[in-house]
Amino acid sequence: MNRLNNRFRASWSRFLAVFKKEIIQIKRDKPSLGIAFGMPIMMLLLFGYAVNTDVDNLPTVVWDQSRSAESRELLASFVNTGYFGINQYAQGYQEIREALDGGQSRVALVFPPDYAANLQLGKPATVQVFIDGSDPQVARTALSTAQLLVQAKGAALLAEGLAARGIDQGSGPLLEARPRIWYNPDMKSLVFNIPALIGLIMQNVTIMLTAFALVRERERGTMEQLVVTPVRPAELLLGKLAPYVLLGLVSFSIILAAGIYWFGVPVKGSVPLLVLLAILFLFTSLSIGLLISTFSRTQLQAMQLAFMVLLPSILLSGFIFPRETMPWLIRGLGNLIPLTYFLVILRGIFLKDIGLAHLQGEVFALLAFAGGLFLLAVLRFRKNLD
Amino acid sequence: MPAANTAGAPAIFVDKLTKKFGSRTAVDQISFSVPAGKIFGLLGPNGSGKSTTIRLLCGVLLPTAGTGTVLGYDIVREAEAIKQNVGYMSQRFSLYEDLTVGENLEFYAGIYGLSREECRQRRQELLTLAGLTARQHQLAGALSGGWKQRLALICALLHQPRLLILDEPTAGVDPVSRRIFWQIIRQTVTTGVTVLVSTHYMEEAEDCDLLGFLFSGRLLGFGPPALLKQQANVANLDDVFLAYVEREGEPG
């Protein structure tokens, strides 16, 4: 019993020595600190402000040949949707072409001279809408908004006209869809992006830092000294990884706090569950970092390998592009990335308040990844020591 | 540790020790025995198997054939006990350059499981011995070659090892530092510690109690320097080595 106790004390002492040493090294290593604290903040600003897929205030050029109360009224309705912002007035198609070619405007509205006259006579009137379709997402939003707006206006005018002739149309149109958007009612891309950003940043920070930390030991020759000491692989690994678990949790907290208090994206679901699953995800990232370190001789190689893992994870995990529209092969590749599952978990808990019952598949996938990758990494790490 | 295991045993004992890497034989059936409290010098050109022999003795590499004990512990089955009782210093500076002198010592104290009191005491003793007391808050990377080497030595001595293994410790170090280094080594030996040192420098070899000449993985000669010179009938160790290599070259 006493001997077992002594063995445990020695083991703990070795773990603690590695842990303390690693903390001191992180504190003195500017690049590591930059990755740990700079990267979350930089990515948060980048994705919080710059990468915004919301469409609003599209610069719009107007050629109003009608110059009537009717045309001004319709224009005002366009502006009121918030999607269109009039930035210039044109006289002729030549000017409209130039505005769209030059990119000063993305949408053009043209009222024909007889617009008001036709409306007053109860005849069909037209308004021309040109849309810059280079960015399909922007074009689609502009198109559907313009169509809905003009249809609604048309229906209102029709009802008005009928009423003027003494015909009561009743309770409105016979068929009507009544859409209600759940989970993210304002359809803000920020609400969708911030939760996912937590996963992406945690992944990047931990993979890069752990890969570097272990390769550094070999690159600088300090591993040569460690192998002749009584330190065991498990003590060395745990001692080196533990500080990065803490760092990973720090970046998790930074983004979570910024997401909630700065960007106003509240967590609808259980925060403890979120933290618990974040720790699980952290282990899969650490294992990937560890695995990368066993394949690299220098920090540069580790960096290149890390990017080979990080880039596909941004593109294929559903972080930016919806996975539902991907071809089956690409989607299959996405299934091999742990981040894919963590994003479903993050968005589920953040936006939909769903619990473990709805996330079983994802949690099992992460557990399998964490276990499998860690085992593989440790086996390779041990082999490398010989 | 069971005392019976180590009492009276030679510090190093190897019998037909062999290590092959694929088809290449790095260490070829070497046998020798070094009593405790001696300085044993391992001589040989680059690639002669010195480093491999050292790694086998440290329990870092497993032998292909043959047996050996270090401080009475079997090099295959009791590698952990060997690691706890051996201090090792390599030719390349392998401490943490981004840690201070004191932090490096504390790290290795933790790795060898020294208590806080032991650590404080040994740290003071060794810093004084190496003349590093004034530099204990300096980063190890900022030290010059000679200081770095002395720091590496006291890190290896921290846990009071009974065998000190030095792999070409004075390669690329100025003569003054080399002299101070050897003073520390000799002082250590008086406390009953055995030293295994591999070296290129023949004047260092003269100071050893026992010498082993390695060439192409084979042990060509073993014994006290004076005896080896007498046997080969030459005046200095360089010639001893030449005589061995010439004899190897002749068929039969």
pLDDT of residue A171: 57
Interchain proximity A386–B61, CB inside 8 Å: yes
pLDDT of residue A185: 75
**Separation of CA A216 from chain center:** 32
Determine the longest span between alpha carbons in chain A, in angstroms. 103
Q: How many CA atoms lie within 13 A of A222 on its CB side?
A: 21
Distance CA A381, CA A158 (A): 76
Which of A187-215 are b and which e, b meaning 16 or more Cβ less than 10 Å from the residue's Cβ? ebebbbbbbbbbbbbbbbbbbbbbbbbbb
pLDDT of residue A164: 75
Distance CA A343, CA A352 (A): 13
Q: Is the Cβ–Cβ distance between A294 and A315 less than 8 Å? A: no
In this complex, is the C-beta atom of A221 within 8 Å of any C-beta atom belonging to chain B?
yes
**Separation of CA A363 from chain center:** 20
Q: CA nearest B119: which of B132, B134, B131, B107?
A: B107
pLDDT of residue A299: 87
Interchain proximity B96–A227, CB inside 8 Å: no
pLDDT of residue A119: 86
Which one of B80, B95, B110 has the shortest CB-CB distance to A225?
B95
pLDDT of residue A386: 53
Backbone angles phi, psi at B174, to 5 degrees: -65, 155
Enumerate the β-bridge partners of residue A84: A58
Contacts of B97 in chain A (CB under 8 A): 220
pLDDT of residue B3: 41
In this complex, is the C-beta atom of A225 within 8 Å of any C-beta atom belonging to chain B?
yes
Contacts of B93 in chain A (CB under 8 A): 221
pLDDT tens, N- to C-terminus, chain A (386 residues):
577 788 888 899 999 999 999 999 999 988 888 888 888 888 888 877 776 667 788 899 999 999 998 899 999 999 988 889 999 999 999 999 999 998 899 999 999 999 998 888 888 888 999 999 888 888 888 888 888 888 888 888 877 777 777 776 665 666 777 777 787 777 777 788 888 888 998 898 899 888 888 888 888 888 889 989 999 888 888 898 889 888 888 888 888 888 888 888 888 889 999 999 999 999 899 889 989 988 988 889 999 999 998 989 988 998 888 888 888 888 899 999 999 999 999 999 988 888 888 899 999 999 999 999 988 888 887 766 55
Read off the pLDDT of residues B92-144 as tens digits, 9 standing for 90 and up.
888 999 999 999 999 999 999 999 999 999 999 999 999 999 999 999 999 98
Reported as type and span, the H/E element at residue B135 is none
Average pLDDT over residues B63-72: 95
- Per DSSP, the three-state class of A17 is helix
Interchain proximity A229–B110, CB inside 8 Å: no
Query: Quick check: B218 pLDDT over 90?
Result: yes
Query: What is the reported pTM?
Result: 0.79
Q: Is the Cβ–Cβ distance between A305 and A296 less than 8 Å? A: yes
Q: How far is CA A128 from CA A48, A131, A153, A258, B5, in A?
A: 35, 10, 15, 44, 99
Average pLDDT over residues B52-58: 93
Average pLDDT over residues B35-63: 91
In this complex, is the C-beta atom of A21 within 8 Å of any C-beta atom belonging to chain B?
yes
CB-count burial class (<10 Å; 0-12, 13-18, 19+) for A8? exposed
In this complex, is the C-beta atom of B73 within 8 Å of any C-beta atom belonging to chain A?
no
pLDDT of residue B2: 43
pLDDT of residue B223: 93
- Average pLDDT over chain B reads 89
